[in-house]
Structure formats: structure tokens, C-alpha cells
Amino acid sequence: MDLKKCSKIIALILFAICCKVIAEPSLTIYNQDFAVVREQLNLDLKQGSNKVSITDITALLEPDSVILRDPTGKQALQILEQNYRADPISQGLLLSLNEGKEIEFITKDKDNVEKIVKGKIIRSGYVPLYYLYSSQSSQRQYITNASTQPIIEVGGKLRFSLPGEPIFPALADDTILKPTISWVLNTDKSGKLDAELSYITAGMNWKADYSIIAQDKRNKIDLIGWVTFDNQSGRTFENAKIKLMAGDVSKIQQVIRYEYVEESYTPPGPSDFVSEKAFEDLHLYTLNRRTTLHNRETKQVEFLRTADVNSQSFYVYDGAKIDSRYRGYNMENIRHESDYGTQSNPKVWIFKEFKNSKENHLGIPLPKGTMRFYRQDDDGQLEFTGENIIDHTPTDETVRVYTGNAFDLVGERRRTNYNIDTSREQWLDESFEIKVRNRKEKEPVEVRVVEHLYRWINWEIVEKSNTFLKTESQTVEFRIQLAPDEEKVITYKVHYTW
């Protein structure tokens, strides 16, 4: 064979390259159980076709989200073929590969002497990682109905456990020990290339948690915010640059192609560990130091610490208790159901609220999370007083949180009259009596008594014992001042027409 023919054959050979990461990874973690991973790969490519494999990836990578490119745009790089294998060798996987076959098990007798027992694998009980994170109903049904217990036939009898330590046949040549991506790449020229790899992976999440400490009896609070990361992706990220995306993202969108649209700023109050900026219609928080995020690890980082935030507590009595049997009723059904809304809820709700503004020592978009409230007792110890979840809260909006029911405040609501005319004029009159009691020994309170005018959209309050505020199109609010150990009665009559 002459040299020219030889060189042509060599040019057609697929060059096998095991590439490696040459820079620390960068992560953007979304609070919807997924993340975007970006890292740099050191490739040494030949002109034409090349085989490339990488194993330093997650076990829950979305193969159709993979992008491999030259970030400088100087070298044409085309993926001719991509293969992703995510089930590395484990005992469960090997049991599943040998279903229907007989293998040997090492077991011990009563004298602790090892012996070999043969057993046929009827069912392995193995569940692939893909099914565990799948949203498809048929795959969820698979997990629900299929037992994860193995079934082994030993001596003609079935057992729902392994009889001992299994001994498997030798591994095949194409067996993988880690999740692996293999590519066939085509490039227009040879040489080394620092390529950029990015992909979306499941199994990574973050959430915000807030601790709020009330200062004595004043309406001042101290606020501490934490970010909690959860890495269940199957991979450890060493010395990673981490960003957190807050907002409600449609997963169908190409989230890795968003562009930054506004300048960042450093608001007063937040910790120096995290910076924040607007990003499309979302908000992006960046950890200002690299950190290692181990697989199956939960890590917390402080992102907000501020003091002397003005807040207030207030009480709400929403006395109408709606029976579950009326679920799905429309207003026309409600109008003709005389018993609707006549049951009474005796509980008075406690709310805490504060303005998320720069003037109030905040002014940073607050990501969705759990907000916990504490107050210092006379002995100096912090006591837990309630918690709830807040939604994503932009700057200059009010944070309002329900924290529980007041022990010493009681409400009582009853209907006193109901008349309906459905013949010609079509109207309805309904009257209510509402009692609120303050059983505190020394503290006066204000209770916001909320009434929902649910019978119809056209209404008028024709009689009332107290003034009210119209807070929504079918909601009114009476603000009642109660001295210690005082009861007050509110009455009103509403007239509906249609």
C-alpha cells in the first residue's frame, strides 16, 4: 500500500479522545429542581471525524439540552452523533441484566462457613435513575406498582431477598462505571481546542429561608436570609461558581440562552456573600466566592442580614366558614343556596407585614421561601412564634405573612335574616351579626373584620352599625378597636339585585 492511500485511510479513522475538564464549573441553579451546568473541555482534535468521551457529568443530565461549541467562534465544530449512558454499574443493574438467568451467591451456614448457593433471578427490583425523576404518568405508575424487592428462586422456592452476596459474570467491554457522554465530532481543522460544554440537569435545587427576630415589644425586626442548596445530581462540583435564578420559569424555554438586561446594584442590607441583579423577567443571585457542592449534600449560605426593619402585626377575623360540600358552586348557585356561608369560624388570624424597600433597610428582591418568626422572652431566650411561605417578592412590595391564630381573641358570626325574591324584581336581602372579643388582660387591639359579599356582584349595604372599607369588588372590612376584656357587636344588612 503506497503512502497516499495510507494517509487517506488514516484520515478516515475515528480518533478516540478522552477529554477532561480544565476549569472550574459554573452552575446556575433554579428553584424548580434543575440547573444549567457550564464548563470548559480540553480537546485535541484531528481534522475530520473524532470520537470523544466524557465521564465527569451528572447522572440526571438532559441529553437534548447539551451544547458543545467553540466559545471564540473560530473553529467549526459539528456533533455528528451523541450517546448518553446514565446507568453506571451497580449491584441492582447487574441483577437486572441477569434476570431469567441463574447465578451464584456466597452465603454462610450456621457454623459461619462460606458456601456457594445457586439462584435464578426472577425479578431484580432495579429501578433506573431516569424513572425516579420522570414526570411521565406511565413511568410514575411503574414506580408505584412495581416492587423494588428482588425475587430469587433457590431450590425450586421463591424468596423476596438475596440469598447471599451475588457473584456476577465478567463485565462486557462496553460497560460503564460512570455516567458517560460519547460524541462523534467533525471539525474543519486539527489542533487543541478549549471547548465550552453546557447542559441542563435535574436533581439540583435551592430554596430561601428567612429568620425574623422581633425586638422586644417594638415593631422593629431583624431579618436573616439563608440560601439552601440541595445536590442530588449524582456528581460533585469542585470549586464551582454558583448562581441562583429566582422566578417561575417555563421549563420548555431555552433557559441557558437568557441575556442580562439591567445593570446590577448592591442594595443596603444584604450579606457580602451574595449579589443580585435583574435577568430577563427573573432575578439572578450570584455567590461572590466559589464553593464545592458535593453530591447528596445540603449546603447553606447567608445572603441577607439587616436590622431595624419597621413591621406591624394585625388581626383579621374572617368569620364565614364555607362547607366543603359547596366546592365548585358558582355565584348563581350560591345565591339560591340559603345555607351557604352560615357556619361560623371562631378563630382570629395573626398577620405580620413589612415593606420591602430601601427606606426600610431592605430593598432587595426576596426569593420564595419559608419565613420563620421569633421573639425574645424575658429570660433572653428566643421563642418561635410562627412561620409561613412567602412568594417571590419584588422591591417596594409588602410582605404579608399569616403566622397563626390568636389565643385571646375570639370571633362569632351568625346570620339574622334572609329574604329572596326570584319572581319579578329579583333581589335578596341578608343580615348578619358579628361579635369579636378581646380576652387580653392589659392590651388593647384592633381587629379587621372581613366580610365577603358572595351572593352577587351587584350589592349595597343598606344598614350598618359601623363604618367599613371596600377592599375588593365583593369584600368589605370593619376595623374594630377593642379594649382589654371588651366585646363589640357589628351588624349589617346587604341588598343584592340581579
Residues 149 and 24 reside in one and the same domain: no
- Give me the amino acid identity at 468: F
Give the total residue count for the chain: 498
Going by C-alpha positions, the residue among 113, 112, 107 that lies closest to residue 163 is: 107
Say if 142 falls within a structural domain: yes
Contact 456, 431 (CB under 8 A): no
Residues 489 and 456 reside in one and the same domain: yes
3 state SS for the chain: CCHHHHHHHHHHCCEEEECEECCCCEEEEECCCEEEEEEEEEEEECCEEEEEEECCCCCCECHHHCEEECCCCCCCEEEEEEEEECCCCCHHHHHHHCCCCEEEEEEECCCCCEEEEEEEEEECCCCCHHHHCCCCHHHHHHHHHCCCCCEEEECCEEECCCCCEEECCCCCCCCCCCCEEEEEEEECCCEEEEEEEEEEEECEEEEEEEEEEECCCCCEEEEEEEEEEEECCCCCEEEEEEEEEECCCCCCCCHHHCCCCCCCECCCCECCCEEEEEECCEEEEEECCCEEECCCEEEEEEEEEEEEEEEEEEEEEECEECCHHHCCCCHHHHHHCCCCCCEECCEEEEEEEEECCHHHCCCCCECCEEEEEEEECCCCCEEEEEEEEECCECCCCEEEEEEEEEEEEEEEEEEEEEEEECCCCCEEEEEEEEEEEECCCCCCEEEEEEEECCCCCCEEEEEECCCCEEEECCEEEEEEEECCCEEEEEEEEEEEEC
In the chain, the largest separation of any two C-alpha atoms, in whole Å, equals 109
Sequence-ordered list of residues with C-beta below 8 angstroms from that of 400, at least 6 positions apart, any chain: 351, 352, 353
Residues 35 and 162 reside in one and the same domain: no
Say if 298 falls within a structural domain: no
Say if 217 falls within a structural domain: no
Cα(116)–Cα(166) distance, rounded to whole angstroms?
A: 10
Q: How many domains does the chain have?
A: 3
pLDDT value at residue 8: 42
Does the predicted TM-score (pTM) go above 0.85?
no
Which domain-ending residue is among 140, 167, 194? 167
Burial class (CB in 10 A: 0-12, 13-18, 19+), 88: middle
Which domain-ending residue is among 113, 141, 167? 167
Residues 83 and 96 reside in one and the same domain: no
Residues 350 and 420 reside in one and the same domain: yes
Contact 345, 387 (CB under 8 A): no
Residues 33 and 60 reside in one and the same domain: yes
Cα(234)–Cα(145) distance, rounded to whole angstroms?
A: 25
For residue 472, the enclosing domain spans 309-497
Residues 61 and 116 reside in one and the same domain: no
Residues 41 and 149 reside in one and the same domain: no
297 grid coordinates: 449534600
pLDDT value at residue 278: 52
Say if 244 falls within a structural domain: no
Residues 82 and 100 reside in one and the same domain: no
pLDDT value at residue 141: 46
pLDDT value at residue 59: 86
Say if 124 falls within a structural domain: yes
Residues 339 and 454 reside in one and the same domain: yes
Contact 102, 156 (CB under 8 A): no
Say if 26 falls within a structural domain: yes
Contact 237, 231 (CB under 8 A): yes
Cα torsion through 103, 106, 110, 113, rounded to 10: 130
pLDDT value at residue 137: 40
pLDDT value at residue 427: 93
pLDDT-flagged residues of the chain (< 50) = 1, 3-16, 134-145, 252-273
Angle (nearest 5°) at CA 284 between 301 and 361: 70
Say if 243 falls within a structural domain: no
Cα(280)–Cα(238) distance, rounded to whole angstroms?
A: 29
Residues 330 and 467 reside in one and the same domain: yes
Distances (CA, A) of 217 to 375, 385, 482: 9, 14, 19
Say if 274 falls within a structural domain: no
Residues 372 and 453 reside in one and the same domain: yes
Going by C-alpha positions, the residue among 308, 407, 405, 402 that lies closest to residue 359 is: 308
